[in-house]
Amino acid sequence: MELKDKVAAVTGGSRGIGRAICVELGKLGARVVVNYAGNEAAARETARLVVEAGGPEPVVMGFDVSDGAAVDAAFDAIKAQLGGCHILVNNAGISKDGLLLRFKDDDWNKTLQTNLYGAFACARAASKLMTKQRWGRIINISSVVGETGNAGQVAYAAAKAGMIGMTKTLAQELASRSITVNAVTPGFIETDMTAALSDDQKKVILDEVPLKSMGTVVDVAHAVAFLATDRARYVTGHVLSVNGGMYM
């Protein structure tokens, strides 16, 4: 079990991509901290699935990543309860969509505060523990739209692009402490969000995907698991696309 004795904090771990990442890291032996913002029942279901898959009993922890004080308190609690934090997956995010001319300041601020500041706050808190351990993995879940842009998603795309810039900067800052920082950019993935699209909408998107299929949350989780292990010891500052060729 490649991640035995490692503690992995996954933000937004209650469903979708975050849930799949929790299960995959748990299968590799990590003690997973399943973060959630509001749905404790869903987070506990993630924890059950981790155990069902053969992983150690996770810790379920509710805190809002957009609240810096709450983030600091959470990582203090992780250290006190589990001894440290070796892996951080910044997956929590929201999407407030709309065209620029009608986009509200409040929606912009909420999206950037959760998606970008939240990743920053968690990385700052986790890296304090990782530097003392002289080992760590920070993996930021960005998006293909952070690389390509997408009409109607100005705030979401800006936040996800910001995560890529932050990834490359932190990779440079933390490398001397054997902490790698990488990003994963999912493309068209089967989630609750994409399930709401019509067949016609899906067809338009799939026409832009060379592999002509949607990805799964497990595809993303496998990429994260690779970056979390020593198999990716010499990989840092990298953006790993999981998009079926949608953007190259």
Instruction: Please list the active-site residues.
Output: 156
From 168, 216, 158, select the one nearest 188 (Cα to Cα): 216
CB 36 within 8 Å of CB 45? no
What letter represents residue 35's amino acid?
Answer: N
Closest among 28, 26, 29 to 13, alpha carbons compared: 26
Dump strand ranges (E) for 27-178.
Answer: 31-36, 59-62, 87-90, 136-141
Residue closest to 63 by CA, chosen among 118, 22, 104, 16: 118
Structure tokens given for 212: 């002509």
Per-residue CA distances from 129 to 70, 81, 174, 181, 190 (Å): 16, 13, 12, 15, 34
Tokens coding 31: 């003690």
Q: CB atoms < 10 A from the CB of 151, how many?
A: 10
Distance CA 114, CA 44 (A): 22
Q: 96 in helix, strand or coil? A: coil
Tokens of 238: 């990298």
